[in-house]
């Protein structure tokens, strides 16, 4: 494959975390292309010729039974797992299979893990500061000082995730739901173009879930969002298009109502 403009090829993730994000080209509407992706672990095909396209500004929900390949798909998009075959493009030009995790994050993809993952020994404020979009190379980080605009941005995000009162608290002391929100806040600080959210409302109270749904709906449009979720009620509240994965490939795709009445989907997933 030929060298792509704006993207340096790297070996084993050793490259500096600098990738031109200006290179994201969404002129053909789609922001993410997964084409014919296969990933196998010891002969087990976690993904089997998976093909999926997500449009810019879309909020896509991905559902499927355990082992359908949802998390592996996220791993492939974020560079944690390299596909055995197939291509992953971010916009028209950025080949994600050639970038390290850090470079992919720089290119504009943010990921929330299934288990909320924050820096527990840092304050809520510092968590957001670390995630904030900036030059993340060693020398720049050593000298970094917060500007007042940056402090304001952190304050805005704190307000949005409703943790304004906890800014000075260590993240390890937050409740489960608050940690989920903090992690979402951290993603937003990265100013991503595409957000991948793995079970974002797991362990949240009903009220928290409702607020999260509102937040996600407000994000769609400026960001593209992929949500992996089991909670059908939550999906019903937010989804435009739902993709159902089964045994590593797409079983069905379409509006939720259509999906709900699909015979095959009922059989493998909903009907149980």
Partner 1 sequence: MNGPTPILTLPLEGGGQTRAPLFAARGWAALLAFALTVSVLVPVLFVVVPEGNPVHLSAYFVTLIGKIMCYCVVALAMNLIWGYTGILSLGHGVFFALGGYAFGMYLMRMIGGEGQYQSDLPDFMVFLDWKAYPWYWSFTEHFLYSALLVILVPGILAFVFGFFAFRSRIKGVYFSIITQALTFAFMLLFFRNDTGFGGNNGFTDFKRILGFRIAEPETRAALFAVTGLYLAGVVVLSRAIIRSKLGRVLTAIRDSETRLMFSGYNPLWYKLFVWTLSAVLCGIAGALYVPQVGIINPSEMSPANSIEIAIWVAVGGRGTLLGPVFGAALVNGAKSFFTQAYPEYWLFFLGLLFILVTLFLPKGVAGIPALLRRRATPGTGMALQEEGNK
Report the residue from 143, 206, 207, 271 that binds partner 1 according to the rule CB under 8 A: 143
Contact between 129 and partner 1 by CB under 8 A: the answer reads yes
In angstroms, rounded to a whole number, what is the distance separating the alpha carbons of residues 87 and 101? Answer: 16
Q: How far is the CB of 122 from partner 1 (least distance, A)?
A: 6
Report residue 74 as tokens: 């996220």
Nearest 5 degrees, angle CA 132-CA 136-CA 142?
105
Q: Is 215 helix (H, G, I), strand (E, B) or coil?
A: helix
Among the listed residues 80, 69, 1, 79, the one whose alpha carbon sits nearest the alpha carbon of residue 38: 69
Q: How far is the CB of 182 from partner 1 (least distance, A)?
A: 11
Report the residue from 121, 149, 206, 272 that binds partner 1 according to the rule CB under 8 A: 121
Which residues are bridge partners to 110 per DSSP? 195
Contact between 123 and partner 1 by CB under 8 A: the answer reads yes
Count of chain residues binding partner 1 (CB under 8 A): 60
Contact between 144 and partner 1 by CB under 8 A: the answer reads yes
Which residues are bridge partners to 54 per DSSP? 32
- Residue whose CB is less far from partner 1, 78 or 249: 78
Contact between 247 and partner 1 by CB under 8 A: the answer reads no
CA distance from start to end of the chain: 45
Contact between 115 and partner 1 by CB under 8 A: the answer reads no
| Interacting span for partner 1 (CB under 8 A) from 197-205, 212-220, 231-239, 244-252 | 212-220
């Amino acid at each position: 494959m030929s060298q792509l403009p704006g993207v340096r090829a790297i070996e084993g993730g050793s490259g500096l975390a600098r990738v031109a994000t200006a290179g994201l080209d969404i002129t053909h509407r789609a922001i993410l292309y997964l084409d014919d992706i296969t990933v196998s672990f010891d002969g087990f095909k976690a993904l089997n010729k998976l093909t999926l396209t997500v449009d810019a500004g879309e909020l896509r929900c991905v559902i499927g039974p355990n082992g359908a390949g949802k998390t592996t798909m996220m791993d492939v998009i974020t560079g944690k797992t390299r596909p055995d075959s197939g291509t992953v493009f971010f916009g028209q030009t950025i080949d994600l299979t050639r970038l390290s995790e850090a470079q992919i994050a720089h290119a504009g993809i943010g990921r929330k893990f299934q288990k909320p993952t924050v820096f527990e020994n840092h304050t809520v404020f510092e968590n957001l500061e670390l995630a904030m979009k900036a030059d993340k190379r060693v020398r720049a980080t050593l000298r970094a000082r917060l500007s007042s605009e940056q402090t304001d941005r952190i304050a805005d995000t704190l307000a949005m995730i409703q943790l304004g009162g906890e800014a000075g608290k260590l993240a390890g002391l937050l409740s489960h739901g608050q940690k989920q929100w903090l992690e979402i806040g951290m993603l937003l600080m990265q100013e991503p173009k595409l957000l991948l959210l793995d079970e974002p409302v797991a362990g949240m109270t009903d009220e928290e879930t409702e607020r999260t749904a509102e937040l996600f709906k407000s994000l769609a449009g400026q960001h593209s969002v992929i949500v992996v979720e089991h909670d059908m009620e939550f999906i019903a509240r937010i989804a435009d298009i739902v993709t159902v994965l089964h045994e590593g490939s797409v079983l069905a795709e379409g509006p939720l109502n259509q999906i709900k009445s699909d015979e095959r989907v009922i059989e493998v997933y909903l009907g149980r």
